[in-house]
Amino acid sequence: MFLILFGLFRVLCLFAVFHVACLLDTGMLFPRESSSREVKELNGLWVFRADKSPNRNEGFERAWYKSRLAQTGPVIDMPVPASYNDITQDATLRDFVGWVWYEREVVVPARWVTDEGVRVVLRVGSAHYFSVVWVNGLKVAEHEGGHLPFEAEIGTLIRKDPTTPCRITIAVNNTLTLNTLPPGTIQHMDDHTRYPDGFFVQNIYFDFFNYAGIHRPVLLYTTPKAYVDDITVVTDFLDNIGLVSYKVSVQGAATATVKVTLMDKEGHCVASSSEPSGVLKVVDVKLWWPYLMHENPGYLYSMEVRLMAADERSTYEDVYTLTVGIRTVSVTSTQFLINKKPFYFHGVNKHEDSDIRGKGLDWPLIVKDFNLLKWLGANSFRTSHYPYAEEILQMCDRHGIVVIDECPGVGIKDIRSFGNASLTHHLVVMDELVRRDKNHPSVVMWSVANEPAAEMSPAEFYFKTLIDHTKALDPTRPVTYITDSNYARDKGAPYVDVLCVNSYFSWYHDPGHVEVIPIQLNTQFEDWYGKYQKPIIQSEYGADAVSGVHTDPPMMFSEEYQKIVLKNYHKVFDQKRKQYVIGELIWNFADFMTAQEITRVVGNKKGIFTRQRQPKAAAFILKERYWGLANETGRLPPWTKYPCSL
Ligand code: GCB
């Protein structure tokens, strides 16, 4: 009894601080259909026009949103979701910097228009980078930052003139500046003896193509006027009792009653409550376990939240169902614990990247990637270098793939990007990220940045503020950032919970000399652990290999070289994972597109799969290793018994 009370107390304490520091005042639940909610997807072909005027501002000067886009000039078909860059044969569109315009007309169901008790919400899953949205010529939303969703309520607008179709115009600008996340700079070349008139370039400080456009689904959804705006769930367990602490936020009603029902996979009610917040107790709990750590990974309960409210005109009922995985996460000085058991990350770094669609959400690709992860025996990935689609995190929840959830803080290299404006925006992005992803059991850690110039003096204040803020938003998960700096000069390392270190021995340093890897990697680990006494993840390592290039003895860029680099790293991991190394994430899962540079041969080739998801020789090395690790550290489900014949 005492233990249960203590557990309840612990979960309530965590919950009491959860979300206090958030700058945002509304929720961002994933849109789901229910008996009270409808969803209308607007994916498919949109009308598109890039603003190629010299100042890229003609669209605003001539108010392209006021009429049909086709009336403003030539338009083309553009699929949504997709990056626009690789869709046409036009190099100027591939490399375009500035505003592009999307438009779509929608016929809205009559009931949405006539029923004043219906809220109609327009939601953009993500658009890169800065977006402005109009409905029938009136501005309804502005949003800064790719990779995260934004919404606008448009019911009153579409009711203004129910006879006209609803015209949605979205302008998207991919320009990156010192204060955007990721940062970049625009450089104008004014020397007319060397550059044509008006020539400028977008400089970036990260290693992937700056794909742009509407990358994730656009949709309309409805809720009743009184609705469930947000749900926050924190879980714990004691012995066989699961504890689900929850809080429901309601909008649009002065008073409302809430009924919360937690159901198991078979649909049986396992706990319920009539309070808007509280703790549900689940007897004989089935915990959420990572893939390959348990024979039944990714167990999810469903939490149905039913809200009832009334005003002088009507009564409202809203129903929203959230999936809930019951698990805990904690960190010691040498271990990462999931459900109080040591967890070793054997996984990958990914990108949202593929042929033709760039960073556009694509279901065949998502499912293929999960099949490859499982084939590989990977139990985890990092969302390098930005938040991935919610649909991907839902797959992780269901399949038990553990996620380090990274914000787009990649390439913070210029001292001016450590200033107040940048930090303020970075804090808002963390608010938006935690708001969106807080309820995913697969997300076990936040990463606030990748390889910033952490040795610069403002980095200490910047990262202390950012990490403190993130911990205040969510005290239930560890926080990190990914570093490649020298351990002695890294200003943010004292504030992270887990050290995540990237290194490319025998590639960017001592190219061609794989024999240096064991000694340099050993030194790296000993130095970092010696200074900070925190667990370490090798968050990146690898080598480029052009698929089909073979050399013996191994040479850089051949498949053999990539293999031998990996093997040399693995020797050291095997010594250190018995001490304080808690994971290894290969760079990268698949080849991906980058800007055109002399060091890149049509993109970064450090994938163990090609961009088309075919294995290189290194994939088999990793597969052997990951299944070996899983056999040693986990409990394999009977259906995944490792086929040892490679
Ligand atoms: C890194 C970066 C990653 C690059 C990789 C590389 O350290 O974090 O974005 O793509 O190295 O291949 O250079």
Domain spanning 227-324 has what CATH number?
A: 2.60.40.10
Q: What is the pLDDT of residues 565-593, one digit of tens each?
A: 999 999 999 999 999 999 999 999 999 99
Atom of ligand 1 nearest to the CA of 451: 8
Task: Report d(CA 619, CA 614) in Å as an integer.
Answer: 9
| Chain mean position to CA 498 | 19
Q: Over 60: is that where the pLDDT of 19 sits?
A: no
Q: Looking at the predicted structure, is the pLDDT value of residue 12 above 70?
A: no
- What is the DSSP code (8-state) at residue 515? G
Q: Which atom of ligand 1 is nearest to the CA of 508?
A: 13
Q: Specify the pairing of strand 380-382 against strand 345-349.
A: parallel
Ligand 1 pocket test, pick from 204, 205, 207 with the greatest ligand atom count within 8 Å of Cβ, gives 207
Predicted local distance difference test score (pLDDT) of residue 632: 87
Neighbours of 195 (CB within 10 A): 13
Which residues, other chains included, contact 150 with Cβ-Cβ below 8 Å and sequence gap of 6+?
123, 124, 131, 141, 143
Q: What is the Cα 584 distance to its own chain's centre?
A: 19
CA of 182 from ligand 1 middle (Å) equals 14
Beta-carbon neighbour count of residue 323 at 10 Å? 18
| Fold designation for 38-174+210-221 | Jelly Rolls (2.60.120)
Mean pLDDT of 55-71: 97
Average pLDDT value for residue range 600-610 = 97
- Catalytic residues, by residue number, are 451
Whether 311 lines ligand 1, by a CB cut-off of 6 Å, is no
> Which whole number is the average pLDDT over 164-180?
96
What is the distance between the alpha carbons of residues 79 and 68, in angstroms, rounded to a whole number? 18
Question: Contact, 172 vs 131, CB < 8 A?
Answer: yes
Q: What residue spans define the domains of the chain?
A: 38-174+210-221, 227-324, 344-640
pLDDT of residue 644: 42
Tokens of 102: 């999307």
Ligand 1, atom nearest to 502 Cα? 7
Q: Is 107 exposed, middle or buried (0-12, 13-18, 19+ CB in 10 A)?
A: exposed
The mean-pLDDT minimum among 2-11, 86-95, 201-210 falls in: 2-11
Whether residue 431 has pLDDT greater than 50: yes
The predicted pLDDT at position 350 comes to 98
- pLDDT mean over 437-449: 98
| pLDDT band of 188, cuts 50, 70, 90 | very high
Give yes or no for residue 450 CB within 6 A of ligand 1.
Answer: yes
Q: Which of 384, 592, 604 to mutate to test the pocket of ligand 1 (most atoms within 8 A of CB)?
A: 604
User: Whose C-alpha lies nearest to ligand 1, atom 9?
Assistant: 207
Does 492 score more than 90 pLDDT?
Answer: yes
DSSP line for 129-181: SEEEEEETTEEEEEEE-SSS-EEEE-HHHHHH-TTSPEEEEEEEE----TTSS
Examine the pLDDT at 20 and tell me if it is beyond 90: no
Q: Which atom of ligand 1 is closest in space to residue 206's alpha carbon?
A: 9
Query: In which region does residue 438 sit, left (phi positive, over 0), alpha (psi from -120 to 50) or beta (all else)?
Result: alpha
Residue 642 has pLDDT above 70, yes or no: no
pTM, two decimal places: 0.96
Q: What's the gap in Å between 547 CA and the centre of ligand 1?
A: 19
CB 28 within 8 A of CB 126: no
The pLDDT assigned to 44 comes to: 98
Residue nearest to atom 7 of ligand 1 (CA): 502
Whole-number average pLDDT of the chain: 95
Residue whose C-alpha is closest to residue 535's, from 483, 489, 577, 569:
577
Tens digit of pLDDT for each residue in 470-480? 999 999 999 99
Q: Which atom of ligand 1 is nearest to the CA of 604?
A: 12
**502 in contact with ligand 1, CB cutoff 6 A:** yes
Query: How remote is the CA of residue 188 from the centroid of ligand 1, in Å?
Result: 27
Ligand 1: does its nearest atom lie under 6 Å from the Cβ of 606?
A: yes
pLDDT at 163: 83
Q: What is the pLDDT of residue 313?
A: 86
Q: What is the pLDDT of residues 400-430, one digit of tens each?
A: 999 999 999 999 999 999 999 999 999 999 9
Task: Compute, in angstroms, the gap from residue 280 CA to the centroid of ligand 1.
Answer: 44
Q: What spacing in Å lies between the alpha carbon of 507 and ligand 1's midpoint?
A: 11
Give the total residue count for the chain: 646
Cα(480) to ligand 1 centroid in Å equals 17
CA of 516 to the centre of ligand 1 (A): 20
Q: What is the arithmetic mean of pLDDT over 276-305?
A: 97
The preferred substitution site among 412, 540, 546 for testing ligand 1, maximizing ligand atoms within 8 Å of CB, is 540
d(CA 344, CA 479): 17
Q: Beta strand pairing status for 138-144 and 44-50?
A: unpaired
Residue nearest to atom 5 of ligand 1 (CA): 207
In a mutational test of the pocket of ligand 1, which residue from 204, 504, 587, 604 has the highest number of ligand atoms less than 8 Å from its CB?
587
Q: Is 587 in the pocket of ligand 1 (CB under 6 A)?
A: yes
State which ligand 1 atom lies nearest to the alpha carbon of 544. 12
Residue 13 has pLDDT above 70, yes or no: no
Q: Give me the mean pLDDT over the 487-495 stretch.
A: 95
Average pLDDT of the residues in 444-468: 98
The answer to whether the beta carbons of residues 626 and 346 sit under 8 Å apart is: yes
Reference 138, options 115, 122, 154; nearest CA is 154
Longest Cα separation, the chain: 82
In short, whether 209's Cβ falls inside 6 Å of ligand 1 is: no
> Of all residues in the chain, what percent carry a pLDDT higher than 70?
94
Ligand 1 pocket, residue 594 CB under 6 Å: no
**Domain at 344-640: CATH architecture:** Alpha-Beta Barrel (3.20)
Residue closest via CA to ligand 1's atom 6 equals: 207
Give pLDDT, residue 526: 98
Residue 143 alpha carbon to ligand 1 centre in Å: 28
Ligand 1 center to 404 CA (angstroms) = 17
Are the beta carbons of 250 and 258 closer than 8 angstroms? yes
* Lookup: tokens for 624: 């052997």
Of 90-94, 253-257, 276-280, the poorest mean pLDDT is in 253-257
